[in-house]
Chain A
Amino acid sequence: MAVCLLYAAATLGLAHSSNYQQGLFLVAAVFSILALSLDLVAGMLGLYSLGHAGLFALGAYGTTILNSHFGWNLFALLPVVVVGVGVVGIIIGSLALRVSGLYFAITSFIFTLIVGVVASDSTITGGYQGLPGPIFPNFPSAMSSFGTALVWAVSGALLVAVIVIWSIRSSALYPALLAIRDAEPFAASAGINTALTRVLMFGLSAALAGLAGWTFSFLGFITPGQFNGTTSINILVMVILGGMNTRLGPIVGAVFISLFPVVVNWNPLWQEILFGAIFIFVIVFVPEGFVGVISRIARRIRAGLTPSSAAPEVNEPTTSLGHGSQPSSALPNTSVSATAAEFALEARNISFSYVAGVTVLNNIDFVVRPGTIHGLIGPNGSGKSTLVNLLSGQLTPSKGTVSLNGHRVETLKAPKRPGFGLMRTFQTAVMVREVSTEDNVTIGLIHKYRWITARSLIWPFLPSGRRDSRSMKSSAHGALRSVGLGEEWTRTKVADIPHGVEQLTQLAAACVGLPSILLLDEPLAGLSAGEIAQVATILRSLRSSGVTVIVVEHQTRFIFDVCDEVTVLAAGEFIKTGQASEVRSDDRVREVYLGQ
């Protein structure tokens, strides 16, 4: 509340200041909006877009041309431009999704260059000379004590951008975005539609760039030179130099880079050299950017004040899966309720090849009865991992069907499977290293809540948002407790935890959403004997809660100890399935796998 009043007071002050200071504010605010919008896709989603200058140009030129040529009202233009550029963003996002990383950056760069060429060579855009921008109307004389109306408009635009971006950062969506960036298979298996989320977020980012464009047109004049490739690179530099993926970083970077050439009035060439030198020094010494400088100092101070804490211990697991309160805006949990289906998971006639002619799986049947622990074993190259990926939706079988609790799912991609009660873990746990274990676990809950993406834009202001955050956190705590990780682990960053704890966290993330079928891919890799025993206990307690567990493992002693039924594959062929004891003593199995 106090912050709001302060902001309003600052705006009022600016609205009465000189034309020049208002101009500075406008430029700094516009670039802050652009930097914030880019941080959303580059910092949080890892999409390094060099196309934001092009989107910015569309907003500015769109506003100017539609206003001066076609007489559209400036305020009506605001939603038009924002939505219009947002749609362009969605189109670019969908096209560019096929490529990642560097190629996306380059494709978006080409987009900026093309927009620049169109702006330079068309008559309606004024060619190289550009166009005079629209004049922002002033307040009626009754409100003249508020000062220049334009300042309030700029202030409002900046506020909107800050609210949207900061809300997303505080929302339940934030860990999911980072997961899409760092650990996409994990995000997809947790039920997040990664492709759609990326496109939507890029569209949102583009919409904000359009807002920046609308605001910028009131500076006085727009020319193609203001929206070229260099501008695009500068926006990215603002984000990185200020501090990528931070609240204030993009704003600090934007203010510095956009105002330096105007405010610093020393010697034109030497101040450019200084400018370049600042880039190098800041990044080399504090790669997290300007904001990083401040946080490093703060950390030093804090470290000096607090005593060092001992590493937390991993507890014995609790005997039941106490999860805390049920999520209230959750979708009805159809999975754990009693199903009439004979099999929890039923895969029939599965065949698959990665490359034409080389069959990896040949006509496999794999069925799992509900409420059992079912093992899947086989020597290297037997196709176990491929089968797991087919069951969880990372791959689609060339032939055959997969059913979960009676529903046919083989054509559905990975994010759709949690809706049918299936959650999985991965051989090498890849989670979001820069956030805590509890945040990573909440990712497993996202598919159970409605409208998270839409609500994330104003999350802290929504009672449902705050409520859902609380319940997600408490469910996450419960899940972590149930795998033996107590309170002292919940806030620790995944980057700082040992491997065994990471595996358990992954397990907690898979369990937190109360799946009816749990698919574990080599969960024991790298665990100590004590940790393995702990996992056995966890699996047994899951079974007693009615969860069907499928375990793929190399450690056969564990499998035959813990599993009720076991299936054996070798060289893509089905060998045997049945009760654990039966399979263990089967001659064929011993020959093919146990080497006896």
Chain B
Amino acid sequence: MLQVLLTGLATGAIYGLVAMGYAVVYYVTRVINFATGQLLMASIMVTTVLSMHGTPVALALAAGVATSTLGGVVVYFLAVRPVLRFNRLSFAWLVSTLGVGIILESLAAVIWGTSSLPFPNLLNGRDVSILGAALTWQQILTIGIALFTVVGFEIFRKRTLFGKIGMAISSDPDIASAIGANVTSYAVVAFALGGLLVGVAGILVGPLSFANPYLGESFGISGFVALMIGGIEQPAASMGGGLILGVLTILANTYINAQASDWFPFVVVMVVLLVTPNGVFMSGGAIKGIWRRFQTSRVEAKS
């Protein structure tokens, strides 16, 4: 059982990072970047190709993450900013960010071919035994980075001026200009952060997924589902959603059958949505809200 939990957390940490990639961007700009999965792919591809040509691994990893970070900014300027300038409430960015994703995918295939390439293997090696469960160093690193990311992000959001203004913009985009904040710079940072997060996810999952131009779609969807489980209002919550999705997937794989990971997480998600439509970790907490409603009805019943 511990094995399932740990493996699930390691898998889910990746989904969570992707979900956070979506969430950070949404938080500040109210936009869902449909090229997020392809940015993850970009970091894996760049790392792989550089290392295949002899670049030292550490440098290749850094280059990969830098690529996806920069890629996020490019998506903003190319596909999001012009659309939002026209109409802040339009959903047209769905089409334009999707377009960027399509281009990234096929461009990668044109440059590097359609077949999978090996990712530089750092830490996979042998497993470590933790209380009877086996985990690779890569997986341990993944879980560690995920926790660090969540904590780091929350500190950034709540303690720094930048983060606080980000929160304000998130709850009321009109405020930004009123308080003299440059909306563009906040958006750029948000998109860059989103790219950074999925870039890190990429270099963590690379040894398992190998490098292929077509990776983006499935990681993008998994991250999206994780985002919805955790709740979209808070980026930190989406990591929780990812971890839950990861554990559910491995649980289903282990205890039901290998195909159950197809449907089991979704059924759970549907149930979750029916009970807490805004995600498990919605602001204030689902539990608090239910408790409050319970209290109100008890007060009414008494009077």
Contacts and interface: CB of A to CB of B under 8 A. Distances in A.
Contacts of B86: 287
B100 A280 contact: yes
A57 to B, nearest CB: 15
A230 B98 CA distance: 11
Contact of A284 (B79, B109, B266): B79
Contacts of B101: 276
Contact of A230 (B78, B94, B217, B227): B217
B277 A236 contact: no
B172 interface: no
Contact of B228 (A106, A356, A399): A106
Nearest to A102: B232
Q: Taking each of A241, A278, A279, which has the highest tally of chain B beta carbons within 10 Å of its own beta carbon?
A: A279
B277 A98 contact: yes
A95 B274 contact: yes
A293 to B, nearest CB: 13
Determine chain B's interface SS by DSSP, over half rule: helix
Determine chain A's interface SS by DSSP, over half rule: helix
B224 A106 contact: yes
Given A107-B273, A287-B86, A355-B292, A280 B96 contact: yes
A48 interface: yes
Contacts of B295: 356
B267 A114 contact: yes
B177 interface: no
Interface in B224-247: 224-225, 227-228, 232
A233 B109 CA distance: 22
A114 B266 contact: yes
A4 interface: no
A114 B263 contact: yes
Given A229-B221, A269-B109, A287-B92, A279 B98 contact: yes
B91 interface: yes
Contact of B299 (A114, A278, A356): A356
A117 B261 CA distance: 10
A491 to B, nearest CB: 23
Contact of A233 (B98, B267, B269): B98
Interface in A457-511: none
A143 interface: no
A110 interface: yes
Contact of B263 (A121, A244, A356): A121
A103 interface: yes
Contact of B96 (A95, A106, A118, A283): A283
Given A114-B267, A118-B263, A283-B92, A356 B102 contact: no
Contacts of B96: 279-280, 283-284
Contacts of B273: 99, 103, 107, 110
B95 A283 contact: yes
Interface residues of B, number: 51
A53 to B, nearest CB: 13
> How many of chain A's residues touch chain B, expressed as a range?
35 or more
Given A114-B263, A233-B98, A284 B221 contact: no
A113 B262 CA distance: 9
B212 to A, nearest CB: 14
Interface in B188-231: 217, 221, 224-225, 227-228
Contact of B83 (A106, A237, A284): A284
Contacts of B91: 48, 240, 244
A357 interface: yes
Interface string A238-280: 0011001000000000000000000000000110110111111
Contacts of A110: 225, 228, 266, 269-270, 273
B272 to A, nearest CB: 10
Contacts of A269: 106, 109-110
10 contacts: A98-B277, A107-B277, A113-B266, A121-B263, A273-B107, A276-B101, A280-B100, A283-B79, A285-B82, A357-B299
Interface of A: 48, 95, 98-99, 102-103, 106-107, 109-110, 113-114, 117-118, 120-121, 229-230, 233, 236-237, 240-241, 244, 269-270, 272-273, 275-280, 282-285, 287, 289, 353, 355-357, 398-399
Counting from the closest, the 3 A-B pairs by CB-CB distance are: A279-B99, A276-B102, A276-B103
Given A269-B110, A356-B296, 15 more contacts: A103-B228, A103-B278, A107-B228, A107-B273, A107-B277, A109-B224, A113-B221, A114-B266, A230-B217, A241-B95, A273-B103, A280-B79, A280-B99, A283-B83, A283-B95
